[in-house]
């Protein structure tokens, strides 16, 4: 069995050597055949230089250097495209995800699971704000999303070759890998672990990047924000009908009406309500176009029985 490990790095000069050391130690004990693929996501520190050195010292180390900072998810995607392993492991460069957990992942894989994903039981050394936002995010996305994304998982996971091949034919530009991995299905199992503090350096996910990431996660997996227009539209239209009846009753059966007011009031409510409903309808169509545009495969096959191979 051949194992590929993909490690995205963005300005990780302080940790990269230690990470490599720990990873090699762990994987060497699991299999003689492996590759470590470092993807440098446009670092402007010594990271590319260090990667070059690591590569020269050890042929099992590979490095892909991206032309600029494309973001974590794209860096991982590049790694997946070049990984040759039967099983592919994704892990952060900062050792927040302990490499020792890979052993358990490989064991589950050998038991026939296609995906073994890490679930953080505890997050030490992260700010209360980060923990809180992460918690809200995972719950929100599961309320809104069509696929269930396991709570508190990151990208730390092992994937079978088949799963990676499936990800490779999902060409969407807004990539939210952990959601995509849930979407593909196959047999998946959670592996609880404790998330440690960063070995050194600071988080490379700025607040802005985190928000963008959250938006990608929600918008690529859910049409609910778009659909809300139709429900709010129907709701407001219902309310405006009550308002319209009220205005008519005032006008026809009482003497407390102001000239011109009834028509004005009715038109505002009516047009407002109708507009929202149709905005919702347009939303529905836009949603469909959006989904089509992604060109996702319509189904994925886990196994074929009784056919000739290929
Ligand atoms: N990373 C990357 N590109 C980016 C931001 C982050 O490749 O634009 C890498 C980073 O080097 C690390 C991993 O993604 O290996 C996770 O980032 P980080 O540890 O900063 O995020 P956090 O753990 O704070 O969520
Ligand atoms: Mg980290």
Task: Tell me what pLDDT residue 305 has.
Answer: 55
Q: What is the pLDDT of residue 238?
A: 87
Contacts of residue 166, defined as CB under 8 A and 6 or more positions apart, other chains included, come to 184, 186, 297, 300
pLDDT on residue 3: 92
Find out whether the beta carbon of 92 lies less than 6 Å from any atom of ligand 1. yes
| pLDDT level of residue 121 (50, 70, 90 thresholds) | confident
Cite the DSSP H helix spans in 222-304.
Answer: 224-253, 261-293
Q: Model confidence at 110, in pLDDT bands (50, 70, 90)?
A: very high
Sheet with 61-65, edge to edge strand ranges: 61-65, 34-40, 3-9, 87-90, 153-160, 115-123, 188-195
Range list of β-strands (E), the chain: 3-9, 34-40, 61-65, 87-90, 115-123, 153-160, 188-195
pLDDT of residue 6: 95
Residues 127-131 have a mean pLDDT of 78
Q: Band of the pLDDT at 36, cuts 50, 70, 90?
A: very high
Tens digits of residue pLDDT in 91-102: 999 888 888 899
CA 38, CA 62: separation in Å to the nearest integer? Answer: 6
Percent of all residues in the chain with a pLDDT value above 70, rounded to a whole number: 94
Distance CA 271, CA 276 (A): 9
CA–CA dist 171, 69 (Å, integer) = 19
71 Cβ below 6 A of ligand 1: yes
205 lines ligand 1 (CB under 6 A): yes
**CA 262 and chain centroid, separation:** 51
CA 296, 68, 57, 26 dihedral sign is negative
Nearest CA to ligand 1 atom 17: 204
CA 54 – CA 74 distance, rounded (Å): 22
Which ligand 1 atom minimizes the distance to the CA of 76?
Answer: 7
Question: Measuring CA to CA, how many Å separate 52 from each of 65, 75, 81, 88, 93?
Answer: 10, 17, 20, 22, 16
pLDDT (0 to 100) of residue 297: 67
pTM: 0.74
Q: What is the mean pLDDT of the chain?
A: 84
220 CA to centre of ligand 2 in angstroms: 23
- Give the number of other CB atoms < 10 A from CB of residue 111: 10
Q: Are strands 3-9 and 115-123 parallel, antiparallel or unpaired?
A: unpaired
């Amino acid at each position: 069995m051949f194992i590929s490990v993909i490690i995205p790095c963005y300005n990780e000069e302080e940790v990269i050597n230690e990470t490599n050391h720990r990873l090699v130690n762990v994987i060497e004990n699991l299999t003689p055949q492996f590759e470590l693929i470092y993807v440098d996501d446009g670092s402007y520190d010594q990271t590319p230089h260090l990667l070059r050195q690591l590569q020269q010292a050890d042929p099992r180390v590979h490095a892909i250097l991206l032309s600029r900072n494309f973001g974590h998810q794209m860096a991982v995607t590049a790694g997946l495209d070049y990984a040759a392993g039967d099983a592919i492991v994704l892990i952060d460069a900062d050792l927040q995800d302990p490499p020792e957990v890979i052993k358990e992942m490989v064991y589950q894989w050998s038991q026939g699971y296609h995906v073994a994903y890490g679930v953080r039981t505890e997050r030490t050394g992260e700010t209360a704000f980060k923990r809180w936002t992460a918690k809200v995010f995972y719950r929100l996305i599961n309320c809104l999303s069509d696929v269930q994304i396991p709570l508190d998982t990151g990208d730390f996971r092992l994937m079978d070759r088949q799963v990676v091949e499936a990800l490779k034919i999902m060409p969407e530009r807004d990539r939210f890998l952990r959601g995509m991995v849930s979407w593909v299905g196959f047999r998946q199992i959670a592996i609880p672990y404790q998330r440690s503090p960063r070995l050194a350096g600071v988080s490379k996910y700025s607040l802005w990047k985190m928000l963008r990431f959250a938006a990608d996660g929600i918008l690529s997996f859910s049409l609910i924000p778009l659909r809300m227009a139709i429900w709010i539209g129907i709701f407001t239209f219902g309310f405006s009908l009550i308002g319209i009846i009220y205005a008519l009753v005032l006008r026809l059966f009482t003497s407390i009406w102001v000239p011109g007011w009834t028509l004005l009031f009715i038109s505002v409510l009516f047009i407002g309500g109708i507009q929202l409903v149709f905005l919702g309808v347009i939303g529905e169509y836009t949603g469909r176009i959006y989904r089509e545009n992604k060109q996702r495969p319509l189904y994925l096959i886990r196994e074929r029985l009784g056919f000739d191979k290929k």
